[in-house]
Amino acid sequence: MMRFKPVVFALLSAFSLVACSGSNNSSTPDPVDGGKDRKAILTHWADNIIIPAYAGFKVKLDAMVEKSNAFAAKPDAGTLAAFREAWAEAYIEWQKVELFDVGPASRRSIRSFINIYPANVSGIGKNIADPSESMETTSSYDRQGFPALDYLINGTGSSDTEIVAYFTEPAQGAQRLNYIKRITDHMQQLVNNVTADWAGAYREDFVTKTGTDIGSPMGELVNGYVLHYERYIRSGKFGIPSGAMLNGVVAADKVEAFYKKDLSKALAQAAHQAAVDFFNGKNVKTGAEGPSFKTYLDALQAKDATSGKALSEIINTQLAAGKAKIDGLQPNLYQQILDNNQAVKEVFNELQKAVRMLKVDMTSAMSITITYTDNDGD
């Protein structure tokens, strides 16, 4: 999503356990009764959600790379259309793993390399002209990944004929095709490394270090999950383009998939549904719900302070309200903002209600400290 400078604040829950950031064990015993068995929760997350979700994304990514290679070998309208379709499918699948900003993905900054938008068109041009430009620097984030491919295969011409001509132009066509390969190779490398880490030692660390303190797998994942919902779904997909996060300044050109605008809603739907499914512990392989934020909150008997209802029920109700607002938008979020921006702002408002519940109520009940900063003052 678009990068912005947060106003630094620290939200420390009244029930949080503060520990040094390198700690792996909670200062309290790991409860193992019923739904409070954190090892069972972490094991379910690893084996039935995170690892298979990455496997599913890798299948789509590898298929996209195959189609990109076919396009490079023979740039024409047919191979372009096949590449574009595979890109869209992989982009949607990415939304289902982007929320797992923990361990290998966090250390490798995979989200920053794969989905920072809007794409930096002038930077992409610079990288095309100079193949020695690094793909590993922070300044390269918005020159690669899905948004850069979006520009290259959807935005370099007003028609498929013009886009094909862009890649077959005698002077620079080969360099442009080579840059696509640099992007896709880097994406594959990142994903292969993350999946290899999960298949190796990290999975054991994840399921056995069961504390909730700062630096624990659960603490890190909860922070990553809430940050993703707040910054990358609420703000990135709706708040910034609609102007709700920019003091009313509308920035429709900052929608995700700007050059393939009719994909923008589908990406947002996939991301939000992934967040809902993870909250409820939905098994990627079977679709059944398992150990999760929901079951843990229920085992802790966490209640909503106002209604007295189960906190998990209140959160799920609010998540459903946000989903309904997203579903009511046009497929093209850019056009939606131009036609009826209020509808997009209403999505932002519904998601903001869920942010407060996740960031304050849920983490307080779980005794987990929010360690990241953002700019909305929640």
Listed in sequence order, the residues at least 6 apart from 159 whose beta carbon sits closer than 8 Å to its beta carbon are: none
Which tokens hold the place of 189? 């490398």
Domain 38-210 of CATH type 1.20.1420.20: yes
Per DSSP, helices labelled H in 252-332 are 264-279, 293-299, 311-327
Q: Cβ distance 35 to 268 under 8 Å?
A: no
Q: 104-128, pLDDT tens digit by residue?
A: 999 999 999 999 999 999 999 999 9
Burial 171-184 (b: 16+ CB within 10 A, else e): eeeeebbebbebbb
Burial 291-301 (b: 16+ CB within 10 A, else e): bbbbbbbbbbe
Low-confidence stretches of the chain (pLDDT beneath 70): 1-34, 375-378
Distance CA 273, CA 95 (A): 9
Count of CB atoms situated within 10 Å of the CB of 169? 12
Residue type, 197: D
Which pLDDT belongs to residue 240?
98
Which pLDDT belongs to residue 1?
52
Contacts of range 125-134, beta carbons closer than 8 Å, 24 or more positions apart: 127/179, 127/182, 128/172, 128/175, 128/176, 128/179, 129/172, 129/175, 131/175, 131/178, 131/179, 131/182
pTM of the model: 0.90
Q: 132-182, pLDDT tens digit by residue?
A: 999 999 999 999 999 999 999 999 999 999 999 999 999 999 999 999 999
Distance CA 326, CA 342 (A): 12
Which pLDDT belongs to residue 214?
87
Count of CB atoms situated within 10 Å of the CB of 198? 21
| Axis crossing angle, helix 333-356 with helix 311-327, rounded to the nearest 10 | 170
Rg of the chain, C-alpha, whole Å: 21
Task: State the burial class of residue 145 (Cβ atoms within 10 Å of its Cβ: 0-12, 13-18, 19+).
Answer: buried
Domain assignments of the chain as residue spans, ordered by start = 8-30+211-378, 38-210
The answer, yes or no, to whether the previous bond of 118 is cis (omega within 30 of 0) is: yes
Residue from 55, 34, 130 nearest 97 by CA: 55
Task: State the burial class of residue 120 (Cβ atoms within 10 Å of its Cβ: 0-12, 13-18, 19+).
Answer: buried
